[in-house]
Amino acid sequence: MLEDLGWYVVDNLPPQMIEPLAGMMGKGAGGVRRLAAVVDVRSGEFFQTLIEALKQLSQAGNDVHVIFLDASNEELVKRYESVRRPHPLQGDGSTLTGIERERDLLRALREQADHYLDTSNFSAQELTEQIARMVDPERKRELTIAISSFGFKYGLPLDANNVVDVRFLANPYWVDELRHLTGLDAPVRDYVMGKAVAQDFVNGFVKTLSGTLKGYTDQRRHQLSIAVGCTGGRHRSVFIAEELAAKLKEPNLKIQVIHRDEAI
């Protein structure tokens, strides 16, 4: 999730490496603006230097925030059992022994943390949402909708989440004066949209899709791909793709239109 928000993320980083890593920030055009380091007791004895490393980063003028993730002992035991891995601190003891040792090591860090989250009852999606609010509270949720036209005779697009078949609409290909044109040309648009069934379809599809877009953003889906197909991908699908894009325009939506087979 942090990577999706544009953060440079390093997992299981020894604390003594945090300060050198922070030196990457702001250097040149390719410098790192936001850095996240995931640190836990897998670092072993190096973990003891974490609080001092964070203090040095702050003194150097960095804006440092600590998010402390926690869970109940019962939930943590379940998680270790589900992944079938021993706790790194349990030694010859039980998983619970390792958890208690971990809590002792983390107590001081927990007290100094800027944010505390008990994840016991969170789904992965709920945890993602909570952390997103912490690290980027002003961020607007933007969903990119990629609308592509294509011809069924050339195969389905591989990356489509939704496929719309508009071969039921009147085909301009069979009109001599329209055959050489595409769905980007006004005569084709007038011909297709001149039929009530086309207007009803576009309005109905937009209404249905508009009702699901909030669900996509709530699930932090960043992109939705809609493929509109007709026989050859030059007339009906091109026009309908353009029409859908025009009707779906909203401030929090980024619309991309691609005509895969229009030039064939």
Nearest to 260 by CA among 173, 163, 157: 157
pLDDT at 198: 93
77 located within any domain = yes
For the chain, the distance separating the N- and C-terminal CA atoms, rounded to the nearest angstrom, is 40
pLDDT at 45: 67
Which of 135, 165, 193 marks a domain boundary? 135
16 located within any domain = yes
254 located within any domain = yes
Residues 216, 194 within the same domain: yes
Task: Tell me the C-alpha distance between 112 and 34, whole Å.
Answer: 21
Q: Is 6 helix (H, G, I), strand (E, B) or coil?
A: coil
Q: Is 227 helix (H, G, I), strand (E, B) or coil?
A: strand
pLDDT at 253: 83
Residues 45, 105 within the same domain: yes
Residues 29, 131 within the same domain: yes
Q: Tokens for 108?
A: 């001081």
Residues 72, 161 within the same domain: no
Which of 135, 159, 190 marks a domain boundary? 135
Residues 84, 172 within the same domain: no
pLDDT at 46: 65
For 23, 36, 255, 257, the CA distances from 249, given in Å and listed in that order, are 42, 34, 7, 12
| Segments forming the whole domain that contains residue 218 | 143-259
236 located within any domain = yes
* pLDDT tens string 182-198: 999 999 999 999 888 99
How many structural domains comprise the chain? 2
pLDDT at 145: 92
Q: Which residues of the chain have pLDDT under 50?
A: 29
* pLDDT tens string 52-71: 888 888 888 888 999 999 99
pLDDT at 144: 87
Show Cβ contacts of residue 174 under 8 Å, excluding neighbours closer than 6 positions. Answer: none
1 located within any domain = no
Contact 229, 151 (CB under 8 A): yes
217 located within any domain = yes
Q: Is 253 helix (H, G, I), strand (E, B) or coil?
A: strand
Task: Tell me the C-alpha distance between 5 and 251, whole Å.
Answer: 19
Strand order through the sheet with 253-259: 162-165, 223-230, 143-151, 253-259
Q: Tokens for 151?
A: 């011809």
264 located within any domain = no
- List alpha helices for the chain, DSSP H: 18-22, 50-59, 73-83, 95-112, 124-135, 176-179, 186-193, 196-218, 236-248
Which of 114, 135, 156 marks a domain boundary? 135
Residues 151, 236 within the same domain: yes
pLDDT at 29: 46
